[in-house]
Structure 1
Amino acid sequence: MGSSPKAVAVGCLLAVIVVSGIIALILAAVGVKGVYLPPGTKYGMVFDAGSSHTALYIYQWPADKENGTGIVSQAEACTVQGPGISSYAENPANAGASLRACLDKAMTIIPVEQQRETPTYLGATAGMRLLREQNSTKADLVFAEVSKTIQQYPVDFRGARILTGNEEGSFGWITINYLLETLVKENLTSQQISHPCYPKGYEENVTAAALYDSPCVPAPVAHDPSQILMVRGTGAPAECRSAIQKLFNFTACGANRTCGFNGVYQPPGHGQFFAFSGFYYTFYFLNLTNGQPLSVINATIWGFCTKGWKELQASFPQEESHSRLHNYCPSAFYILTLLHEGYKFDEQMWSSIHFRQQAADTDIGWALGYVLNLTNMIPAEAPEQVKGQQRGLWAATIFFIVLTAAAALLAILIQCLWNPT
């Protein structure tokens, strides 16, 4: 007597279940290997507490760093409202309060679960160097208040300190060459990242020189606060220029030799030079950051400085309260004197100076170089490893698992519901 149609159907489905189940098991075991999940993102924050204002820079980098150094990019920049923290010497509490708006903004950018492990630094430059020289107690009180405010936020605050002039310059050099990729930077697939930030005629993989300074704080005196020049007002450009020249000693070296400062031999300049910080802001105000020749630079500065104060106020009403307007003339003469007479940038060499605020969508200054240096002290996280399979094998495995489940369900339905007469 033959088998019933019900028994035949159930038997066939059981065979399909067994075969497809075995195939699924085999596929699941074939080609499985350990794979690493994409790295997470780490964050870091640096307050650049300058003489005229403070800025907060938020940086990010992959958690499994490349070559021991994080591939750092700028996630956000926030300008603190008000003057630099050194201006709050008589009311230190306000120095701390001034940072709150930018800290609040940072908390909306950095994921909540990563905030407590975000290293945060405050570096102060010329303004606090001068305040410390004048009154170290007041400088300490300002640092105490800004530290107190930052510590009220869920971040890993690692202290506030004053950078030396050499550190400020060195970290600025690291920043510009990192952004120009002359300090080789690779992505996670070991392919060079390309940014369209090279100036015309720039040679890749040749480090660029960094020209930085706060206006009227000459580099040759290494930021000695007692040498800071405070020339205010306009209308006497020759006197302003003469006062600035007194800061420098352009002693002649003798025949066939060129001196920069204090009789020290200086070889002819070569390569590309990036001027930022106070250099950039002063020349940007004067609309001199577009590669103008030295003759135009000189004429523009003299033309600006010979205007009367009322004429300047009327010409530049956008300068809030004219708080910085009186500084542009001495600052411009300082830059011109330093570069032309000190570093010997003549008409031909002047074209190699690039006045820039940013490169590769990142602000140029010491802060990024500071983070690049400090990320070497932040342990790299081991990438998370999981078991993975090739896409084709994975798809086939899923197909046979689904087929097995469908056949089993159908067999159950037939067994329970089919009742042939």
Structure 2
Amino acid sequence: MGLSWKEQVFMALLGAAAVSGLTALILVLVEAVNVLLPTDTKFGIVFDAGSSHTSLFVYQWPADKENGTGVVSQALACQVEGPGISSYASDPAQAGESLQGCLEKALALIPEAQRRGTPLFLGATAGMRLLSQKNSSQAGDIFAAVTRVLGGSPVDFQGAELLGGQDEGAFGWITINYILELFIKYSFSGAWTRPLEGTLVGALDLGGASTQIAFMPGGPILDQSTQATFHLYGSSYSIYTHSYLCFGRDQMLSRLLAGLVQSHSAGLVRHPCYHSGYHTTLPLAPLYESPCVHPMAPQNLPQNLTVEGTGNPEACVAAIRELFNFSSCQGQRDCAFDGVYQPPLWGQFYAFSNFYYTFHFLNLTSRQPLGTANATVWEFCQRPWKLVVASYPGQDRWLRDYCACGLYILTLLTEGYGFSEETWPSIEFRKQVGGMDIGWTLGYMLNLTGMIPAEAPAQWRAESYSIWVAGVVFVVLTLVAILGAASVQLLWPQD
């Protein structure tokens, strides 16, 4: 006896449902592939407590890292209001309070669930190094005040401490080479590649109280005390780095003025680095508060000092050269100044911080020849003060010092570090590269990421779009067939 029409339709719909469902299952299981889900983002906060001001930077990187080191980008930069923390020696609590505004901006950027795992570090540079030499108790009080504020924040506070001059120079070197993608580079094929050997650049940093030079020499480093070694992205690097305390912009200007005080009559200084027509009276005692200047204090210190500018660049250069001890390197191989070892310069260099700010003002950041740079600075120094003020409205705070700073930079880079007419074009004066600030903080964070455990990206099963669409169609057909079979069984009248 054959099947009735109802039974035939019912069996056909069940068969279609089975075939369609089996096809959808095969598409899901056979065509699916493993895909990596986006990793979580890690954050890090660094305070750069310099001699003249403090800046905060927030960095971020994917949690899975690359060859053991984070691929870090800058997420926030915030300049703290007020002077550097070393200026709060008489009111240490204010040093900590001054950091609150930028810290709150950083916390607003970081998801609350990730704050406990976000490292926070404050590195104090040459300003606090000098205060520690002058009065270690006051420096300790400032660090304690800073620690109370930062330690009470909902992040992983790593400490507030003095950053060594060698570390400052070395981390600055890491920063610029990382930003220029000279450690690793993301290729068009979607893979990380290593650039050719020999492309790494040197770093020149001029702060308020110290200056640093760091580069990878073309030969061996003969003085091991000037060598710094890092392991980044699976490779090791050994570089030369040295920091000169008291040779930063602000301390240089103070030492220069103190030297002129010694060679002039009491109470009056004719300053060759100030423009002709410039005149001011200032208290003399604060000049000798810095350890860089204190040994030069005269016996009978007048209360006030009158300073008159003469606009004489030749005399200015002569006074600046007195700040260096060039004779200590006579007869020595591979020596910069003050008897400090330095291997021969090698490769390209990036000059930032006050190197950049001074030469940017003087319009000398376009790789002009050394002769042009000299002529430009000398011409600026010889302009009358009234003309300078009229030419640069609203910039009175720094105007008087650009002449001295320009000539100082030329002296430091040529007679100090040894750049010549031929090698001068190898210096690039920059503040940022690729939207990221050049300084030691990014290099510090890159080095720190090597100590933060990586997180493997999560895996998931997924299909291509076309396979996914086909799977959905067969699932729908399966459901339609099942519903049709159920309708036939329930609603079709008996034959």
Structure 1 stretches lacking a partner, 5+ long: 195-202
Are the counterparts in 2 of residues 215 and 331 from structure 1 also a CA contact under 8 Å?
no
Letter in 2 for 1:244: I
Structure-1 residue corresponding to 2:486: 412
- For 1:70 and 1:287, locate their aligned partners in 2 and report how far apart those are by CA, in whole Å: 36
- For 2:130 and 2:328, locate their aligned partners in 1 and report how far apart those are by CA, in whole Å: 32
Deviates more, 1:286-295 or 1:360-369: 286-295
- The answer as to 2:349 corresponding to 1:348 is no
Are the counterparts in 2 of residues 69 and 375 from structure 1 also a CA contact under 8 Å?
yes
Are the counterparts in 2 of residues 38 and 383 from structure 1 also a CA contact under 8 Å?
yes
Deviates more, 1:407-416 or 1:373-382: 407-416
- For 1:216 and 1:127, locate their aligned partners in 2 and report how far apart those are by CA, in whole Å: 6
Deviates more, 1:391-400 or 1:66-75: 391-400
Structure-1 residue corresponding to 2:162: 162
Structure-1 residue corresponding to 2:89: 89
Deviates more, 1:231-240 or 1:347-356: 231-240
Choose the corresponding residue for 2:380, options 304, 328, 331.
304
Deviates more, 1:97-106 or 1:28-37: 28-37
Q: How does 1:114-263 map to 2 (within 5 A)?
A: 114-186=114-186, 189-192=190-193, 205-215=198-208, 217=210, 222-225=243-246, 228-229=251-252, 230=254, 231=256, 234=274, 235-236=309-310, 237-251=313-327, 260-262=336-338
CA shift digits 1:311-369 (9 cap, x unpaired): 544443323xx443444333222211111212232333221111011122211111111
Choose the corresponding residue for 1:283, options 351, 354, 359.
359
Letter in 2 for 1:214: G
Q: How does 1:77-116 map to 2 (within 5 A)?
A: 77-116=77-116
Deviates more, 1:295-304 or 1:347-356: 295-304
RMSD of aligned residue pairs (Cα, Å): 3.2
Aligned pair count reads 411
- For 2:392 and 2:419, locate their aligned partners in 1 and report how far apart those are by CA, in whole Å: 30
CA shift digits 1:35-94 (9 cap, x unpaired): 432222111111111112111111111110111111111122122222222222222232
CA distance change for structure 1 residues 91 and 289 in 2, over 3 Å: closer, same or farther? same
CA shift digits 1:225-273 (9 cap, x unpaired): 5994314571244454333212222239779988632567877644211
Letter in 1 for 2:356: Y
Structure-1 residue corresponding to 2:72: 72
Letter in 2 for 1:69: T
Letter in 1 for 2:202: A
- For 1:183 and 1:151, locate their aligned partners in 2 and report how far apart those are by CA, in whole Å: 34
1:145 positional shift: 2.3
Are the counterparts in 1 of residues 80 and 101 from structure 2 also a CA contact under 8 Å?
yes
- The answer as to 2:402 corresponding to 1:328 is yes
Structure-2 residue corresponding to 1:20: 20
CA shift digits 1:379-405 (9 cap, x unpaired): 001221233445554444333222111
- For 1:48 and 1:12, locate their aligned partners in 2 and report how far apart those are by CA, in whole Å: 76
Letter in 2 for 1:356: R
Letter in 2 for 1:298: N
- For 2:119 and 2:466, locate their aligned partners in 1 and report how far apart those are by CA, in whole Å: 43
Letter in 2 for 1:401: V
Letter in 2 for 1:251: S
Structure-2 residue corresponding to 1:398: 472
| TM-score using structure 1 length | 0.85
Structure-2 residue corresponding to 1:36: 36
| TM-score using structure 2 length | 0.74
Give the secondary structure class of the aligned counterpart of 2:176.
Answer: helix
- For 2:324 and 2:39, locate their aligned partners in 1 and report how far apart those are by CA, in whole Å: 51
Give the secondary structure class of the aligned counterpart of 1:289.
Answer: coil
Question: Greater strand share, 1 or 2?
Answer: 2
Are the counterparts in 2 of residues 32 and 389 from structure 1 also a CA contact under 8 Å?
yes
Larger relative contact order (CA 8 Å, sep ≥ 6): 1
- For 2:80 and 2:489, locate their aligned partners in 1 and report how far apart those are by CA, in whole Å: 75
* Moved beyond 6 Å, runs of 4+: 252-258, 263-267
Letter in 1 for 2:200: T
Identity across matched positions, percent: 52
